[in-house]
Structure 1
């Protein structure tokens, strides 16, 4: 293969590192003489973390031998220094956790397994950051743009995500049960990254968290609730840090669990989780609260919350049984129920911070095509008249007032 630039190749893909990585994959798949086509998935906005491409590698002069991959890279971006740590975390997640999860599931029939993307190649060297993943669209998985834009998110879709999330978390318990020494060695590498001062000082994310909270706060119409939430602002990062620390029960959490970081195969009732830059070792309920509080409204949660937590726990129990692990030995139902109540204030905090991006994603196609973490939008980028943001913020605040979650958060703030 020539390393000359293809005429139809995006400028951002013009790199010896990217070309050489493609050659590595092609040779591994038995394709000696090849050509490729590149499609840019995301990355054009200056505030994306990574450029993401879909690349189809095919044998020259033959349509029978081809292979499609997803390439995520910081090469040819201006964000290499800022977001190198996020890239390192995702590579670590694929190489040490996801690969282990895939091995663990080999004892199951294929239809029983949680779908996990295979990492084919990675590099964490400075200025050579790259991850190459299998392209799951070839297996029928796709980003659901209606879901990404929060249209028609119904009980069926939400239930499917929680059922598959239970399997994802269950694999940590199985990992710990089967190989406790290695499990302990690995989990200490997955301390929270996003809310830690060293990382925040290097990136724009500290400002992002405070500015997002402030924007939501200004939209709150309940004066008493707004005054209470005002006292939270100065302790926002401390509270987030507290909730994502390891607690009594911990697993490898996704850390950024919303629909943009999932691929769906609706006819099979399957979900594949992707984008692991925020993976952390923490309480599993943090993922549940994150997902439910930014993906559903209070009416939906009021009607379905108990059912959804039951769906999660029942699927956790059933999946653990496939590996001869009893749920009562690793995560008793009463402990799970207690964690659900304990972490509801975390759900409120996440909503106050993240609903700005979620509601913008519903109106801006260029946003929903990227991970939520791919954004550090300046305040001037946010529309002033985002009515959906106002509706969603006041909805979650009213819920927190009515169910006592806001008062519980106030008690924690005073400690």
Structure 2
């Protein structure tokens, strides 16, 4: 494990993170694996660097490390071929350092990264800095969505500042195209299995599946209707684009939550700030793509029906304010009417992506890890051949899985076919 990084890289991490002022020597370092299951696209550890400062004091600094799988070489090969891990590393190494970072102009919206190799990244330890993830299967409420929208708007504002103020109008896609390529929304086995899974859920469990006429329409037309997503993820000549995150499911956020001073208990409903994690499927597309990915991946339909319009207004006002701090006028970049029009244009991206991803990530905790370790052929089939059997099983026996998936499937059917 300790061979993952060199002592010279450890020194660079300490230096880049401004952990020590002045001279220091790295005395030793170690890598401690983070407990729990590995991530789907990488593995996680802590890097602890022991430093001797110029005054002779010894001090330890801890960092978070994510790297390509080293325990599952088959998974590593797949990730390397897609380029999905390297994409994020290059974003952190080449693009994000060019973003405006001064505290008076920009709020914190991502973790700091102190070393970015194509196979490994060393980042600030967000837990040590007061951030937490949401408890498993706890619903995101208005407090979470407002903070997420604000961080998302900040990322988009930084993109526009880089493109317009610093690069004088050169498109980010032209400058950083090597890191903004499509890896996910493609005619590949993983994504196509996900789209077929939406159709399976629509046919076997949606509220429209008991109507023979509707069911016949779904069977005959749904695949061709869903194919429009491949046009929607192509570069836009119609709307202003930014770097969009897209992978906005519940594990890709960490929050600062208030603590009760008397009991020490955490108020998980009212976060004060939020950072975005994992930029492995970043793309250059209009902001409406991120807005709808967040809304459909993170909220239930009753919540969307109640708060959607207020979230649209909050995003636009937040983006307006953040652009002003960067000496940019939203009316010349993304007028309100254009933003509203783009929301309608890209709604299907959020609907279908949430259907694909929720069928995958909302399975019971540990289920996919167990499948991967103990039933590798079944895991392979689920990922790359067909999810239908697993989707049908958990629609039947897991209420959380069923309610969240059918929320988005029903709304997708209404959008595609006008079902009522």
- The reply to whether TM is greater than 0.5 is yes
Matching of residues 331-350 of structure 1 within 5 Å: 331-350=334-353
Q: 1:42 to 1:177 in 2, by over 3 A?
A: farther
Equivalenced residue count is 366
CA contact (8 A) 1:285 1:339 kept: yes
- Structure 1 range deviating more: 184-193 or 328-337: 184-193
- The match for 1:118 among 112, 118, 121 is 112
Residue 172 of structure 2 is aligned to residue 183 of structure 1? yes
1:37-86: per-residue Cα shift (whole Å, max 9, x none)?
503256547xx221111222234899952222221212523122211100
Residue in structure 2 matched with residue 295 of structure 1 by the alignment: 298
Residue in structure 1 matched with residue 405 of structure 2 by the alignment: 393
| Shift in Å, 1:165 | 0.9
| Shift in Å, 1:400 | 4.8
CA contact (8 A) 2:288 2:342 kept: yes
CA contact (8 A) 1:220 1:226 kept: no
1:272-300: per-residue Cα shift (whole Å, max 9, x none)?
11111101111111111111112111111
Give the TM-score of the pair, scaled to structure 2: 0.77
Structure 1 or 2: more helix by fraction:
1
Measured in 1, the distance between the counterparts of 2:12 and 2:350 equals 46
Give the TM-score of the pair, scaled to structure 1: 0.78
Measured in 1, the distance between the counterparts of 2:25 and 2:192 equals 47
Measured in 1, the distance between the counterparts of 2:95 and 2:60 equals 28
Measured in 1, the distance between the counterparts of 2:94 and 2:67 equals 19
Q: 1:397 to 1:183 in 2, by over 3 A?
A: closer
Residue in structure 2 matched with residue 132 of structure 1 by the alignment: 122
Matching of residues 154-173 of structure 1 within 5 Å: 154-173=141-160
Residue 93 of structure 2 is aligned to residue 95 of structure 1? yes
CA contact (8 A) 1:219 1:393 kept: no
CA contact (8 A) 2:244 2:284 kept: yes
CA contact (8 A) 1:213 1:233 kept: no
CA contact (8 A) 2:109 2:275 kept: yes
1:317-343: per-residue Cα shift (whole Å, max 9, x none)?
000000110011111111111111222
| Shift in Å, 1:196 | 3.4
CA contact (8 A) 1:54 1:71 kept: yes
| Shift in Å, 1:154 | 1.3
Measured in 2, the distance between the counterparts of 1:316 and 1:27 equals 35
RMSD over aligned Cα, in angstroms? 3.0
Residue in structure 2 matched with residue 9 of structure 1 by the alignment: none
Residue in structure 1 matched with residue 365 of structure 2 by the alignment: 364
CA contact (8 A) 1:36 1:57 kept: yes
CA contact (8 A) 1:26 1:34 kept: no
Q: 1:355 to 1:206 in 2, by over 3 A?
A: closer
Matching of residues 189-228 of structure 1 within 5 Å: 189=178, 190-197=180-187, 200=188, 205-206=190-191, 208-217=193-202, 218-223=204-209, 224-228=213-217
- Structure 1 range deviating more: 66-75 or 274-283: 66-75
Residue in structure 2 matched with residue 4 of structure 1 by the alignment: none
Q: 1:37 to 1:80 in 2, by over 3 A?
A: closer
Residue in structure 1 matched with residue 21 of structure 2 by the alignment: none
Residue in structure 1 matched with residue 67 of structure 2 by the alignment: 73
Measured in 2, the distance between the counterparts of 1:246 and 1:188 equals 11
Residue 33 of structure 2 is aligned to residue 39 of structure 1? yes
Residue in structure 1 matched with residue 10 of structure 2 by the alignment: 25
Measured in 1, the distance between the counterparts of 2:125 and 2:317 equals 31
Measured in 1, the distance between the counterparts of 2:177 and 2:218 equals 33
Unaligned runs of 5+ in 2: 15-23, 259-270, 370-378
Measured in 2, the distance between the counterparts of 1:359 and 1:212 equals 13
CA contact (8 A) 1:294 1:358 kept: no
Q: 1:41 to 1:308 in 2, by over 3 A?
A: farther
Measured in 2, the distance between the counterparts of 1:408 and 1:105 equals 45
Q: 1:317 to 1:191 in 2, by over 3 A?
A: same
